Amino acid sequence: MVIFGAGGDLTKRLLVPALYNLAHTGLLPEHLAIVGVDLAQQDAAAWQGSLHAMLASFVGNPSSESRIEAIDAAVWGKLAGGMSYVQGDLNDAALYDTLRLHLKDVAHDAQTEGNVLFYLAVADRFFAPIIEQLGHAGLLDAEARDGTPQHWRRVVIEKPFGHDMESARALNKRIRACLEEEQIYRIDHFLGKETVQSILAFRFANGLFEPIWNRDRIDHVQITVAETVGVERRGRFYEKTGALRDMVPNHVFQLLAMVAMEPPAGFDADSIRNRKADVFKSLRSVTPDDAVRGQYGPGTVLGAQVPAYRSEPDVAADSNAETYVAMRLAIDNWRWAGVPFYLRTGKRMARRMTEIAICFRPAPHAPFEDTHVESLPPNWLVLHIQPDDGISLQFQVKRPGPVVDLATVRMAFHDRDWFPHEPNVGYETLLYDVMIGDQTLFNRADMVEETWRVVQPVLDAWATEPPRHFPNYQSGSDGPQAAEALLRHDHRTWRPVNTEADGSATPEK
């Protein structure tokens, strides 16, 4: 495994902790060598030391996203024992000649049989140049004997994969000139979450839900990805990117595809990715009238005062970068015709939570006309992705007493009540899948381009029309009022962000 950007945050905070967790559970190959590549002048021992120090900082730290309960010296020793380091400029062809010679030695010493996984943990401007340099140096070729590949070469590319439809197509064209599609792993760490993967099992392993999973029974779907954090140290990145590019064509659309896709022919990579691609192709391009943007002002989040986005480090005092996006989407196919999908994602919101809420059509009120029941609220099925992973179902029962009255109750399943906790940073499954050659959880070129197509009209409009009232939502709130108006226009409302972890009301006492 060759990691470009070996000294960066992604490597230290996520990739190496994930590799450690895989090693601890015995899921790494017996013969594994890890080669770090970066500009910094250091040797392998110094690199290993910096990785170990970061790993140690996660132990006993409940606020850390990289959950490590303890460092097993034997496990770390074996992992670190296979580490080496190559220093050089990523734009310098000489680096790749040095790397080619180094990998020959590694293949011999570590008995890796020539299989190499290249991980691009670098800024997106380096994606195409690195791949082209690897191609020129002959490092992407799978040597064949009698037509049979003797080893494999795979490349993992982080997001953002392009910044709009045109740049995504250009990037695909450049890398496909050097790689076959089966060698390319466009990673989205959201798909590494167990609860995201379990959506498919929930839908297709239970005969109860599929008959009602359509426009006849579902009124609308709400997908929320809310964060309490601000931009933290990513001011420069966010100024160029914004919430739409950062979250919607990748993370949020992946959740949408899991909910909306047709049953696959099987659980192999091609079958699942084909059905996801069908969803993206059926998505109608979003008009600017169906999109809302926001930027957080000062406020209180989790009891602490926080500054406005424009007061964050590396952010312009008059910045127009959005930190919140809401959209109404339509899927033009038989299953979902007429069912709106509402998406929203934002920073500095009331609570950290990711959920998919499916609102069913209400039952007819006729049987209750002569009772105290004035209306029948809809049933909600909520898939809780984080932080309290699980599923809840909200429905109506009769309230105890001599008169006919209804109460809203819920049934809730929590992962923590059924399954043991395993240290996980969200990259373990994805790294394991790359190593075994399973592309199920990775995006194809056509999928990437289709998702950019859907949001391109909004990107174009926002580029030419600056927002009028930024900041337009208070930190610690549910977002801007314009997002509420988006649903109110359809006689619907957003589910509150700051609710119980299972998304429904507290039982009566």
CB 138 within 8 A of CB 131: no
Instruction: Give the distance between the most distant pair of CA atoms in the chain.
Output: 85
Residues in CB range of 195: below 8 A, 6 or more apart: 383, 384, 385, 386, 389, 390, 415
* CA torsion angle 3 7 421 60 (round to 10): 160
Q: Between helices 73-81 and 16-24, what is the axis angle to 10°?
A: 120
Distance (Å, whole) CA 228 – CA 210: 34
- Cβ burial of 507 (10 Å; 0-12, 13-18, 19+) is exposed
Residue 365: strand, helix, or coil: coil
Every domain of the chain and the residues it spans? 2-189, 193-361+444-488
Residue 68: strand, helix, or coil: strand
Return the pLDDT at 499: 65
CB neighbourhood size of 215 (10 A): 15
* CA torsion angle 439 445 446 450 (round to 10): 110
Cis peptide before 367 (omega within 30 of 0): no
Angle 194-200-202 from CA coordinates, rounded to 5°: 90
The CATH homologous superfamily of the domain defined by 2-189: NAD(P)-binding Rossmann-like Domain (3.40.50.720)
What is the domain class of 193-361+444-488 according to CATH? alpha beta
Residue 29: strand, helix, or coil: coil
Q: Which residues are catalytic?
A: 251
Mean pLDDT, each 10-residue run in order, the chain (509 residues): 95 93 92 96 94 86 61 92 95 96 93 94 95 96 62 93 95 96 92 84 90 95 96 90 94 95 91 96 97 97 95 96 98 96 97 95 70 75 90 86 80 86 83 94 95 97 94 96 95 86 43
**Identical fold at 2-189 and 193-361+444-488?**
no
